[in-house]
Amino acid sequence: MFSREDMTMRARGASLLICVMFVCLAGCQFSNALWRRQGHDAVRAKDLQTAEDRFGRAVARNPTDWRAHFHLGLIHLEQDRATEAEQSFERALSVCSDPNYVPAIIDGLAESLARQQRAERLAEVLRDACVRYGTSYDYLRQGRYLARIHDVDGANLAFRKAARFAPGDPVPYLEMADLYESINDRGRAIEALRRAYLTDPADRRAAERLRGYGIVPGPTIALSPEKEPTVVEIEPTDY
């Protein structure tokens, strides 16, 4: 049996240990916030070397600091160090605790892979994001990068999916028009612009681009020239 004095001493010891742990944790968080703030200041001053050092100190102190990993990735992209950027974005994605930042991290990861011309890994990342999150923006991102690697059919399908998940947004059709203009397919570019105009007649972008083709926007021009095809899932073998 412990005496009352022993129990009191043990209780005080436990309280002291908890206080020490709290102070250490708070100190770690404070230091990381300070390193990140100094990193942001350096970025604004266009001092990327100092910014890299500060964000690097933050991740060295706390490897789960996804914000610091993310900003290191952005710095590496700015410095044309795509391989290191990929590693930073991968780490940020693996420990990110805020779903609101996940799209930006995936954007950075996709860009780093595109710059390395790693088409297969890029397609995998884009597809996984669509399967896991399935938002209009995920499909829009997929379409943009598939267009960059000249997968016209895959990009077209991704833009159609983006449009399906955002029925009031003309952007997927506008970007589809960009895709077909890039390969000089005038007919399909006009069709995409007509769909964009149908989606939101008040959006001036589609109307102005249609005028560039000599087409005057109006109630009849917005009619879809054909039935929207059924959207099917892209299998890995499509890449």
DSSP notation for 185-225: -HHHHHHHHHHHHHH-TT-HHHHHHHHHTT----TTTTS-S
Token digits of residue 116: 């390395």
pLDDT at 22 over 80: no
Token digits of residue 47: 């001092």
The answer to whether 142 and 129 are in contact (CB under 8 A) is yes
Cα separation, 119 vs 44, whole angstroms: 33
Cα separation, 2 vs 150, whole angstroms: 76
pLDDT at 143 over 80: yes
**Range scoring the smallest mean pLDDT among 15-29, 78-92, 130-144, 210-224:** 15-29
Topology at the third CATH level for domain 30-116 = 1.25.40
The domain spans of the chain are 30-116
Look up the pTM and report it: 0.78
DSSP state of 236: G
Instruction: Classify 135 as helix, strand or coil.
Output: coil
Average pLDDT, the chain: 85
Cα separation, 90 vs 58, whole angstroms: 17
Query: Quick one: pLDDT at residue 39?
Result: 92
Cα separation, 35 vs 71, whole angstroms: 12
pLDDT band at 52 (very low <50, low <70, confident <90, very high): very high
Q: Residue 140 is which amino acid?
A: L
